Amino acid sequence: MASIFALLALCGVFLLALFPNSMLLPPTALLPEKVALVFLALSFGVALIPKLQKKLLEDRDAATFALMAAFFVVYHLAERAGPRSGFTIPSELFSDEVSVTYALRLVFIGALASIPVWWKGGGPQRNLLAASILIGVLGLGSFWFLGRFYPVGATETVDPTPLPTLLLQLLGYGCVAALCRAVTASPAYTKTLLRLMPVFLLVLAAKYQIFPTVQPEEDAE
């Protein structure tokens, strides 16, 4: 049952990627993403060859890794769906507003709902989650250490503005990895998603090619 929540969350990420906020994703920044989407679509198309698909379905770790490779790109685009507004954390460390995107909210809820199927049994998501935690700790530690012992300006403080973005990015991609692992707990859902991936990715690439985002004139100046 938990796998269906993960599958729905990943489908929601795909839908969000179709409707980016033009203020957050300028058209000139899309070439690498479009190339990556086409390459991934072709890769998943090759993986549909019966013998390859059978091996992929038999190896849960390989299926998880393949889905992670694709959905990291899709999630990157889905984050541009907004919102632009944020909220302020009552802390001296984070003085600016923190924006939690719709995509992050979706994958976080999906990861929580599917904990029973991705938390156990190992898998590549464990390594990614461990690395994310380590990077987060090192990031916080670096700002604390530099701010405490090294003067960096008139106020002698380190600007912690990048910290919220770093931590939210780590959380988001960690949740995406967990969702990919949760889906592969069900062979039926895994097979369905693998078959749909070439279509999903090509539709997404075609959308950005045929209907690129257009920035409002006042913001383009």
The token pair that represents 26 in the structure block? 């300028």
Position of tokens 């890794």?
A: 65
- Residue-wise pLDDT tens digits, 129-181: 888 888 888 877 777 776 666 665 555 555 556 777 788 888 899 999 999 99
Instruction: Examine the pLDDT at 201 and tell me if it is beyond 50.
Output: yes
Going from N- to C-terminal start, the domains of the chain cover 2-213
The token pair that represents 143 in the structure block? 């700002």
Distance separating alpha carbons of residues 103 and 175, to the nearest angstrom:
10
Position of tokens 């379905």?
A: 57
- Residue-wise pLDDT tens digits, 45-62: 888 888 888 988 898 889
If one counts every other C-beta atom within 10 angstroms of the C-beta of residue 40, the result is 24
Of 61, 4, 15, which is closest to residue 192 (Cα–Cα)?
Answer: 4
| Beta-bridge partners for 87 | 98
The predicted pLDDT at position 94 comes to 58
Q: What is the pTM of this model?
A: 0.81
Do residues 186 and 45 touch, judged by C-beta distance below 8 A?
A: no
Distance separating alpha carbons of residues 208 and 32, to the nearest angstrom:
12
Helix (H) or strand (E) holding 97: strand 97-98
